[in-house]
Amino acid sequence: MGRGKEAFCRSRPGNEDRQKAWHCMRLRVRFTLSDLEVIAAIGYTNAKRYVRMLERAGYLRRVARSNGRPGVCAAWVLIRNSGPKAPILRTTDPPQVYDPNTDEVFSAGRGPAGGEPA
């Protein structure tokens, strides 16, 4: 039995944190995972997973890489600001991102960001 769009809207653990992180991304021109940890009070692992999936879905662009260098943080900019509601991750195969602002689903599969509607 398939899961309809209503499955995306149910409250899941981490959704409130991700809503705060999304709000932070919309307000800042450039942000790091540390920014999200401090400003949005989201855990590092949750922030990293959310940013990675949004990047693959075409919402974010990485503008700086750390490459393992001490004191250098990776940074991103928001390139698809679709509205106030945070995009929701869907753990399917391949992973997807549902945007409740536009009612669209985007692929967030492995590899370079595509952002193609699923």
Which one-letter amino acid corresponds to residue 38? V
Fold (topology level) of 13-85: Arc Repressor Mutant, subunit A (1.10.10)
pLDDT of residue 12: 53
Q: What is the pTM of this model?
A: 0.80
Q: Rounded to an integer, what distance in angstroms lies between the CA atom of residue 58 and that of residue 28? A: 17
Q: Rounded to an integer, what distance in angstroms lies between the CA atom of residue 51 and that of residue 74? A: 11
Which one-letter amino acid corresponds to residue 70? P
Beta strands in the chain (DSSP E): 60-64, 75-78, 88-90, 96-99, 104-107
- pLDDT band for position 9 (50/70/90)? very low
pLDDT of residue 71: 67
pLDDT of residue 66: 76
70-84 burial, b for 16+ CB within 10 Å, e for fewer?
A: eeeeebbebeeebee
Element (H, E) at 61: strand 60-64
Q: Rounded to an integer, what distance in angstroms lies between the CA atom of residue 70 and that of residue 39? A: 22
pLDDT in tens, 34-93: 999 999 999 999 999 999 999 999 999 999 887 766 667 899 999 999 999 999 999 888
pLDDT of residue 11: 44
Compute CA 36 distance to the chain's CA centroid, rounded to the nearest angstrom.
11
